[in-house]
A and B are shown apart, each in its own frame.
Chain A
Amino acid sequence: MRPEQIEGTLDRILLKTERPGRYVGGEYNSIVKDWDATDLRVALAFPDLYDLGMSNLGLMILYEQLNQQTDILAERVFSPWVDMEALMRAEGLPLYSLETKHPIRDFDMLAISLPYEQLYTNALNLLDLAGMPIRSEDRDSSFPLVIAGGHACFNPEPVADFIDAFVIGEGEEIIVELARCVQALRGRSREDLLRAVAGIQGMYVPRFYDVNYFPDGTVAAIKPNCQDVPERVLKRIVPVLPPPFTRFLVPNIDTVHNRAPIEIMRGCTRGCRFCHAGMVTRPVRERPVPEVLEAIGKITASTGFEEISLLSLSSSDYGQVHDLVSAIHDEYGEAGLSMSLPSLRIETASADLLSKLGDTRRSGFTFAPEAATERMRNLINKYVPTEQVLQTARDVYGGGWRTIKFYFMIGHPEETIEDVWGIIDLCKAVLREGRKELGNKANVNVGVSTFIPKPHTPFQWVPQDSKEQVLEKQRLLKRELRGPGLHLRWNDTESREFEGFLSRGDRRLGQVVQRAWELGCTFDAWQDRHFHDRWLQAFAEAGLDPDFYNHRTRGDHEIFPWEHIDVAVHRKFLLQDYQMSLKGETRIDCRDKCFACGILPKFTQTRSQTADSAWECPPVRPIAERKRTANVKLMR
């Protein structure tokens, strides 16, 4: 279909959809290049609703990186909601890009963002709506190269059958290298192109690796089946954070996070053992304060956004957080801007920070203690004394804020029912503090999610709680955390099972994902769209057992399905950390003491070439220089 035909069809059908504004583009700051005059064309897909995808910073960064190149264009595509999908299929309307309304099949490359596992079926659906075979092996060079990246891709195996190549790690630089590679090998076979792609550091091409299994279903070996591909694919990192993206697309319709994010820091030094992001985004790199301030000015001028969010995994740990907040207050206090600083530690300073930031739209505070008893906090390596929680609560309520929201997790390894009682007691104690200050106006909102062990973390060995355990814990919470001022939220157990097997699944799950999609599964993250029975049917047909993935303790020496993906944190380090957790031993913030997680030996050269202050990891001198100093010492 030609773009004009697509536009004509859209004009006829869009008013029949729930929100036509999702499907038309035309946003301020969107980049529309001359299709015919641009040599290389990349479609950037976020396989979820426009409303969610438009808030994704990663997508925006890639959009800019590619469009900055004069001979490359990048256009966006999101998953159509079920109403639009039905219309598209009925009309024979192929998946198209928002900028120029070209069919996705006409692009040279389709790059799919996979930040979380629940999007896998949507990714398959996008390929199908684009009129492409969903399996990589069925697509020749007449189809766009299909790549994927994002946090879910640190275990790419469950979708290895469908994606031609995965970006492991940070995408800012590699996306352009990839595009150049596709450009250089135009006209060559898909096999040739993939060979070249596999040669780019950080790219994983599944078809060049064979996986063998033991009779018990565990992985026996993952080996390259051809020359010139690495045994293990080391993740890609950028040595310093590139300048912040500021020309945000301004949506014409309301979206979930209708504001501009600025990443102030990447990585986290806390080492919470459950945290996937904390392990895979190392090393910690901070953005200098002047760069953040300049970005705020540029964003306001170029977008008119009224709200800016300062992103990081742990804002309180940003080295100059107080300077930053003061400077923002001085420079932008009068500008009618609302600033938000999420992910703050539970401490008095947090309340001060937010008051200073003038976060006026906020009615309360959100903290994530994750666990409520001392034993559990030690086990997960997120230590906050209870008295500190209560003192912070006093400060927050004393400052006139009415609501404190807590995030807890149940289902941590070794958790007992007493630890769940700990959550109940703590929430009630906090509410009592609130009542002293505000009487019946005080609120405690409690969000309790269930822990899912993730690859590349110290807890990758542990089973997740059984359905019965989770239900029992949830029952207790529901019974006890009720009444005025207490509001409990929890998530359902089926979607948790689902997230579990996709997180730690192996390549055999490809047939399960495909079958589930064939049975009509899409938008699995939406509770009313998650059809668990279809997933179970897909498992049964594949002769696989979800419990094998979710409820089994892995042996210390078991080869994981993601063993060939190297996030630069040693397996040895993770195992040691896991064993420490069982003994209740903790590790302090690694800014204060390097625990040799593996980042420095893997990125020695990169580290030695960046400024000491650029990373929170200790500086490394080049080997030659180290030898020289050693020799000098010897000679002395």
Chain B
Amino acid sequence: MSENPARQRLRITFGKFAAMKYTSNLDVAKIWERVLRRADLPLLYSQGFNSRPRLQLATALPLGITSECELLDVLLRKRIPLEDVAQRLRDVSPDGLETCDVVEVPVSSAALQTRVRSAHYVVTFEESVPDLSRRVAELLARPNILRTIQRKRRTVEKDLRPLINEIRVGDAGELQMHVAVGDRGNLRPGDVLQEMDLLDHWHRVHREQLVLAEMEELKCN
């Protein structure tokens, strides 16, 4: 096997606000490619016919949801000092794409996508929902939440209940949700709201925190 050409791996924590909340995961990847090129970082490109910078986004964020905790790994072909990277990125980012933090992680770390486990969301309602606590209690009391999903020619039943870690009503009448995200199980806030019959209540959803396997392991120890 040839030597790994990557010399440094940066992990960028970023937020999606304003117009950015209407961009898909593919769009975000493209936006980042261009931000990184404008910032003139020594990107490592993939080999082959359609050469692209080597980037990894942790997980997709459903359209319309804002976030302060998205994760992106970037492979570089040479090492650079970390101090001014965040500022360099901020200087060339479009409105609503906000770099919160840049850290270095080992080049050979596992792919980011495989490490995401769950996420914390906050749902705020334009007009408070009086029976919100009752709806939460009812949802959590259900032994299973079955959803039929159309997959090409067959339908499968999926139980959403095990994907819910926690749902509670916060002090300001908002909904706090901790649900599974990632390749081992993924639950969209919209699906939860639908089960609680809340989709017609005008609301905003914000992702506060992504939980990686590493963090879970830390907690257990």
Contact = CB atoms under 8 A, between A and B. Distances in A.
Q: How large is the interface on A (under 10, 10 to 19, 20 to 34, 35 or more residues)?
A: 20 to 34
B188 to A, nearest CB: 13
Given A304-B36, A360-B51, A26 B26 contact: no
Contacts of B7: none
A305 B30 CA distance: 10
A336 B19 CA distance: 28
Interface string B1-25: 0000000000000000011101110
Contacts of A14: 22, 64
Best-buried of B36, B64, B95 by chain A (most CB within 10 Å): B95
Interface string A24-35: 111110000000
Nearest to B28: A252
Nearest to A7: B18
Best-buried of A28, A252, A336, A361 by chain B (most CB within 10 Å): A252
B23 A28 contact: no
Given A26-B96, A303-B34, A303-B38, A252 B20 contact: yes
A360 B96 CA distance: 33
Contact of A250 (B19, B34, B36, B45): B34
Nearest to B62: A15
B44 to A, nearest CB: 10
B63 interface: yes
Contact of A20 (B30, B64, B96): B64
B37 A26 contact: no
A254 B30 contact: yes
A270 B72 CA distance: 51
A26 B94 contact: yes
B33 interface: yes
A28 B33 contact: no
B49 A304 contact: no
Nearest to A361: B50
B183 to A, nearest CB: 25
Interface string B34-63: 111110100101000111000000000001
B63 A252 contact: no
Given A20-B63, A252-B19, A252-B20, A304 B37 contact: yes
B38 A301 contact: yes
A20 B45 CA distance: 31
A191 B22 CA distance: 44
Contacts of A115: none
Contacts of B64: 14-15, 20
B92 interface: yes
Contacts of B20: 26, 252
A258 B29 CA distance: 14
Given A360-B49, A361-B49, A24 B19 contact: yes
A620 B95 CA distance: 51
A306 B35 CA distance: 11
A304 B34 contact: yes
A580 to B, nearest CB: 47
A315 B45 CA distance: 30
Interface string B79-94: 0000000000000111
Interface in A11-63: 12, 14-15, 19-21, 24-28
B38 A252 contact: no
B31 interface: yes
Contacts of A300: 37
Contacts of B104: none
Nearest to A362: B49
Interface in A341-378: 360-361
A623 interface: no
Nearest to B49: A360
B19 A15 contact: no
Nearest to A14: B22
A28 B27 CA distance: 14
B198 to A, nearest CB: 15
A258 B27 CA distance: 12
A232 B35 CA distance: 50
A26 B38 contact: no
B22 A24 contact: yes
Contacts of A226: none
Contacts of A304: 33-38, 92
Interface in A228-261: 250, 252-254, 258
A299 to B, nearest CB: 11
A527 interface: no
Contact of A253 (B23, B35, B40, B95): B23
A254 B49 CA distance: 21
Given A12-B202, A21-B27, A26-B18, A250 B94 contact: yes
A12 B127 CA distance: 13
A252 B94 contact: yes
A491 interface: no
A608 interface: no
Contacts of A306: 33-34, 37
12 contacts: A12-B202, A24-B22, A26-B18, A26-B95, A27-B19, A250-B31, A253-B22, A254-B27, A300-B37, A301-B38, A306-B34, A360-B51
Given A15-B64, A21-B23, A360-B51, 20 more contacts: A14-B22, A14-B64, A19-B22, A20-B22, A21-B27, A24-B19, A24-B22, A26-B19, A27-B19, A28-B35, A28-B92, A252-B31, A253-B24, A301-B38, A301-B40, A303-B38, A304-B33, A304-B34, A304-B38, A306-B33
Interface of A: 12, 14-15, 19-21, 24-28, 250, 252-254, 258, 300-306, 336, 360-361
Q: 3 shortest A-B CB distances, which residue pairs? A: A26-B19, A304-B34, A304-B37
